[in-house]
Structure 1
């Protein structure tokens, strides 16, 4: 299979799964087995194409995230700065733990069995949380405290284990702290910006010089594909959860996890 076709397939998987609570890393590990995309470059590719997904969040939420627009009132600028401050607070645990344990986890836990087990555990956690949906009281970022932002960011660190899902762990953390589904999802998107940007920068510093010109072509095409796909998925996801809960994603995780255990 040509590398550009592999890039498109993997970018499709990344774009679709990154912001849904079903584990993009887990899906990439499983699909890599099929397309036979392996080696040190494949590990870098799986991380760096997330940059396209980051860009999709920035583009879609520019009006909410950019505090320096001349069209914004003082209160709107303050709201944008508050979001960024809460994102930074939530990012600190992932920055510290990722630096300390990232390489160890990648070496020991990036395998289909770990993915399957964490898919099932995460699915069960979502189902249990949906039973207490009447406790979701936080409906705006103004109501999200810095303490809750830090706790959610700490829970996000579970996503370093493949199959957990960064989106799912953040959403689960938000729901545990009483956020609505919409606020949990949006905070998950925003928290992805420094988390995934940090992972991308680290991977480039670690492996960038060893990437060939042909591999850069594959990588850039992957970033572009994941950007376009993630844009569409985020719009769909936010419209979906305005009327529905997260149960369908939980059932999908559990079924997929069981299938992976049976097949691998």
Structure 2
């Protein structure tokens, strides 16, 4: 029962922070300092990635009609545009897929620590503020998803590679990439949601393969529970973000990231100092 309560908390954190550009890893590393799953390290590492599947299903639910190229409610032109959108999503996924496969073990071994997480939280927090200030009076050149060109989505895909570094925030990196190419905030956010589908399915599949398929009954239960909670919370987080950016920019998330990064550095730095 206690482990289930821990998973519920972790699922809530994942559901909120996966879509807001504030780094789910940065928050999970803090939460796990106080709420540690009494499971093997290999299971916890796999759980933190696979729990994202619940968040992905929230995107599929909310945007099912927009993502479905076979909807009878769409015209032939709309179906073609939807297929083109999927092609762009898959093209943008290539850079992260290649780099992720090559460096997944290295990242887990050398970059999954509080110093890296804190630094990236702060750096991309500053980046959000700078990018937004530069675009305060600029009119977006890309106002619809269909306006995104192949070179544009490749740029966004390259920014997604940066998110392989813990603490960066996948949504944060790709939204910054979208803003830099002139996309409207809503377009940048939606493309980020869609881009997450193949990337997170791929990352989850890779982690499950590495973990092996020898799950205990408790492990299956905890994994499913985490996915369900992250799904339910993600539905509200996505709707909140899309409503928020109608009247606000991303600077508030930048300031939040900077404060969180400083907290992570101070907390773990002091913990390490007193433990020495």
TM-score, structure 2 as length reference:
0.93
1:127, 1:29 → 2: CA distance? Answer: 24
Query: Conserved in 2, the CA contact under 8 Å of 1:21 and 1:167?
Result: yes
1:85 corresponds to:
87
Q: Which residue does the alignment assign to 1:137?
A: 141
Aligned counterpart in structure 2 of residue 108 of structure 1, from 101, 107, 110: 110
Alignment partner of 2:20: what SS?
A: coil
Whether the 8 Å CA contact 1:41–1:211 is kept in 2: the answer is no
- Counterpart CA distance in 2 for 1:208 and 1:28 is 23
Q: In the TM superposition, what is the alpha-carbon distance from 1:135 to its structure 2 partner?
A: 5.2
Q: What corresponds to 2:272 in structure 1?
A: none
Distance 2:240 2:212 in 1: 34
Give yes or no for contact 1:12–1:229 (8 Å, CA) kept in 2.
yes
2:174 to 149, 159, 170: 170
The reply to whether residue 192 of structure 1 matches residue 196 of structure 2 is yes
Larger Cα-atom Rg: 2
Q: Equivalent residue for 1:16?
A: 16
1:30-82 Cα deviation digits (max 9, x unpaired)? 21111123611111110001000110000000110000011110111011111
2:71 paired residue among 48, 69, 78? 69
Counterpart for residue 260 of structure 1: 264
Paired position in structure 2 for 1:124:
126
Give the Å deviation of 1:26. 1.9
Aligned residues: 264
Taking the aligned partners of 1:163 and 1:40, their CA distance within structure 2 comes to: 20
* Structure 1 stretches lacking a partner, 5+ long: none
Separation (CA, whole Å) in 2 of partners of 1:41 and 1:204: 9
Structure 1, residues 163-220: CA drift from partner, whole Å, max 9, x if none? 1000000001111111111011001000000000001111111114243111110000
Deviations 1:86-131 (A, max 9, x none): 1001000011000000111011111111111100000000001001
- The aligned counterpart of 1:30 is 30
Q: Which runs of 5+ in 2 are unaligned?
A: 269-276
Matches of 2:258 and 2:14, distance apart in 1: 19
Which residue of 246, 251, 256 maps to 2:255?
Answer: 251
